[in-house]
Structure 1
Amino acid sequence: MAVVLSDRIYTVEDYMKLDDGQRYELIGGNLIMVPSPSTNHQRITGKIYRLLSDFAEKKQLGEVFDAPMDVVLDNQVIQPDILYISKDKSSIIGELNIQGAPDLVVEVLSPSTATYDRKKKSRLYFKHGVKEYWLVDPDVKFVDVYVAGEKEWLWIGAFDQEDVLTTALLPGLEISLAEVFKGLK
């Protein structure tokens, strides 16, 4: 379970002053301590980041960032595992953080953050205009893909090691999930 510091309402300004060596997210005025990820989490994140980043750079479509990277959405600060920002939205990339919704967010689930990723962060991403959201579950080796609908996320499907992941946001990108999940312990 994630450690939530709820002794008071925290602001983005409070968050930016933190300097205790810990990683946090700011959701609903609460500071949520983000634990270090597992090795499987890092393996998956590294593979997806590299594939997305190499493709976006080669095709000059935009930029890909991985955690820790603060994304400021109004009075919330979150650190998605991976995020893609199209060239058209590059103005949201600041010197210290991202000031607005990325086009694509990828979260790799872990026991301590899965509830936040599936519910609170998912709602924030949708509300602020993220176009596509991938939830990667290392335990069952599945990726759930959601795209923004008119009033809520539309579930596109669950993809496993037999599938190749694509997205309209990066035309031509093909991610073999067999490769992504290969070597997990």
Structure 2
Amino acid sequence: MTTQTKLITADELLMMPEDGYRYELIRGVLIRKMPPGDRHGDAAAWTAAEFANYVRANDYGAVRAEIGYKLESSPDTVRAPDVSWIAPESAPEPIPGYRDGAPDLAVEVKSPNDSRPEMFAKAQMWIGYGTRIVLVLDPAPVTVTVYRPNTEPVTYGEDDVLDLGDLLPGFVCPVWRLFRQQR
């Protein structure tokens, strides 16, 4: 096993050649992420579609899939949620490179090898960087856990309705729609 001796910058991460893996940067240390499985990808795609439909219908903010957010500098930290939403006042036009700061809403999909404590820590990490709402989607069983600053997380089941109107006015969605096209 090789050990990374040189810290990597966000610019160096951005210029790395594609090799089939996703990478994140935590305080200059390169972290290789395994490609997600089918259930993970399905949930991320349907969730992105729900937010994209909302953005298009309401002309409010911007939705992104798997983009990097530069959260710290010197050494650099770049993390990438599965789906994110950026408020209109945060200049939602696409930019070259990574966005500085955290998204207003981050979505993380739990993979089979992720533990609940790991997902809790990931949600708290986003909240700590300023994200206003974090959704943790678990495809098996179908649940969405909503994290907000200074409140206890709330978990919704497949038959529940997710209301994010406090951040995205009018956004109401049956939980099952974040996981599949039809019931």
TM (norm. structure 2) is 0.84
Which residue matches 1:180?
178
Say if 2:12 is the partner of 1:14: yes
8 Å Cα contact 1:5-1:31 kept in structure 2: no
Task: Find the residue that maps to 2:167 and give its secondary structure.
Answer: coil
Task: Identify the residue that residue 86 of structure 1 maps to in structure 2.
Answer: 87
Alpha-carbon displacement from aligned partner over 1:114-173 (angstroms, at most 9, x marks no partner):
565432x33431222110111111122111101122xxxx22410011101111111111
2:138 alignment partner in structure 1: 137
CA distance in 2, matches of 1:58, 1:80: 23
In 1, the alpha carbon distance for the partners of 2:147 and 2:128 equals 14
CA distance in structure 2 between the partners assigned to 1:63 and 1:42 by the alignment? 20
| 1:60 aligns to 2:50 (yes or no) | no
Counterpart contact for 2:71–2:100, Cα < 8 Å: yes
Q: Which moved more, 1:133-142 or 1:16-25?
A: 16-25
Q: Which residue of 1 aligns with 2:99?
A: 98
CA contact 1:5–1:32 (8 Å) conserved in 2: no
Give the Cα–Cα distance (whole angstroms) in 1 for the partners of residues 64 and 175 of structure 2. 20
Unaligned runs of 5+ in 2: none
1:109 match: 110
Question: Which region of structure 1 is more displaced relative to structure 2, 9-18 or 154-163?
Answer: 9-18
Q: State the Cα deviation string for residues 8-67 of structure 1 (Å, max 9, x = none).
A: 333323322321423101123321111111111111111111111111221111000112
> For structure 1, which runs of at least 5 residues remain unmatched after alignment?
none
1:172 partner amino acid: G
SS of the residue aligned with 1:148? Answer: coil
Residue identity over aligned pairs, in percent, reads 25
Counterpart residue number, 2:120: 118
Kept in 1, the 8 Å contact 2:142–2:176? The answer is no
Task: Measure, in 2, the Cα distance between the counterparts of 1:84 and 1:6.
Answer: 35
Report the 3-state secondary structure (helix = DSSP H, G, I; strand = E; otherwise coil) of the residue aligned with 2:62: strand
Aligned partners of 1:92 and 1:77: how far apart in 2?
19
Change (3 A) 1:98 1:112: farther
Distance across 2 between alignment mates of 1:66 and 1:97:
13
